[in-house]
Structure formats: structure tokens, C-alpha cells
Chains A and B, each alone.
Chain A
Amino acid sequence: MARVFNRGELKAALLSVIASLGEGHGYAIMQELQRRVGNQWRPSPGAIYPALVALEEAGAITSTERDGLRVYRLTEDGARAQAAHDATPQWRDISRRADAQRPGITLGILLDRFEIGLSRRAGLTSEQADSIDAALTRTRSDITAILEQGAEHG
């Protein structure tokens, strides 16, 4: 499975999120990150917190404890890094990768659902068999066209 964030992208994304929030605690930062990447993606403290610690150790952000929560904000170095063009996260690419990780519906699942819906397994007359065969052939052509269309659009 492909990673949602390439090397360095998570830190750049966190810097961007903290810059837009001004300051925020871990959950607020995680929530904003999720909003930007897409709601289907589920970030976790286990991935975000170490990145925040690494950014703090690098001097890009600083934190203070307030009401039992650690609140993060950018340092001057962090703001400079965030403003640099090469540190701008590519949100569209990140969202596309996150979307690709979503457990999707496959053609096999749809065909299984279709088969389950056909509970009547009685013998067929030759006319019925011909009609159903023709209908299934038409449907197969339609499905193939849809799949080819999807492949063209990437």
C-alpha cells in the first residue's frame, strides 16, 4: 500500500496547518490536517505526534503546556521554512494518495452482490436462456466500456 505522505511531506503539511491555525494542540492540528487531506483519511496520534516532536527538536515549532494540553506554534525558523516554496505541501497529490488507500468497492464485490440478488435458480426454457444470455452480454459490454472510460480518465 502506498504511503499518503512522501518523505518530508508530513512535516511540511504540519507546518502549513500550524501556520494557518496560528497555534493549536495536537487534536486540533490533526483535525485540520484531516480536513485538508480529505475526510475519508484517518490520521492517528501515533503518526502525528512523533512528527510534531521532530519538528520541535528541529526548532521549527515550539510548544507550551496550557490546561493540560501541549499547544504548538511556529518559530521564526519554522515560519521561514513554511514560507519557502519547496516546503509547500502538494495537497492535491496527498489527497489523491489518501483517496487511493480508501477501502474501495471492486468489480468482484459488485458481481457477488448481483449474484446474491438472483435467488431463483430454477431451470430455464431455451427462450429464457437466450434472452438472459443476450442481456448479460449487453451488460458485460457496458461494464467493459465503463472500465475503459475509467482507465482513460486515470
Chain B
Amino acid sequence: MDEFGKAALREREAVRIARRQWFWLDLIVWGAISAFLFVIWVLAGGGFPWFVIPTGAWAIVVAAHAAFAFLLRSPEDILLQREKKEREREERARSDGRD
């Protein structure tokens, strides 16, 4: 892969890292608010665990965010990864031929 391809990979990687950082921030905020609501529930004397409703609903959003940050790959990313592997295979074959 030439320098242009490597620049493309670096750029895509930066986008992926930024996505993951946003996810961790989302998770931290969710955790803090959930803990806060839990404390309020305890201080209020327990009873019906109402705090589970907002934290549970928000957890679905956080899970979707995790899927977006870690699992989903754009067609461009898939193409780039395939191209990278192809070029690496070519380079290995060339270096094996030289040996």
C-alpha cells in the first residue's frame, strides 16, 4: 500500500477512535446518572425500583452506540481493509520470491 493508501487508513482509524471516545463518554455519563438515581432511590427508602426505567431505557441507547462504535463498518472501511490485506499479501509474495 502506498503513502496515499496509508493516509486513507490513518484518517479512517482517526474517525474510528473518535467514535469510540464518544461511546466511552456516553457510557461514563450513563453510569454517573444511573448511580445518582440509584442513590436517590436508596435515600428515598427503596421500594419500587423506579430508577431502572430511565437507566434501562438509556442503556438501550448506550448499547446501540456501542454497536455503532465497535461493530458497524462502512463499505469504505471494508474495502480499505480488504485492499490492505491484498497489498500485504502481494508484498509478502514479492519478498518470498526474493529470498
A binding-site residues for B, Cβ under 8 Å: 25-27, 30, 44-51, 53-54, 57, 65, 68-70
Contact = CB atoms under 8 A, between A and B. Distances in A.
Given A53-B79, A53-B80, A54-B79, A26 B12 contact: no
B42 interface: no
Interface stretch (B3-11, B27-35, B50-58, B62-70): B3-11
Interface residues of B: mostly helix, strand, loop or mixed? helix
Contacts of A57: 79
The 8 nearest A-B residue pairs measured at CB: A26-B4, A46-B11, A49-B8, A50-B76, A45-B8, A45-B7, A70-B2, A50-B79
Interface residues of B, number: 17
Nearest to B13: A46
Contacts, number: 52
Given A45-B8, A45-B11, A46-B12, A69 B3 contact: yes
B88 interface: no
Nearest to B83: A53
B15 interface: yes
A26 B79 contact: no
B8 A50 contact: yes
Nearest to B74: A50
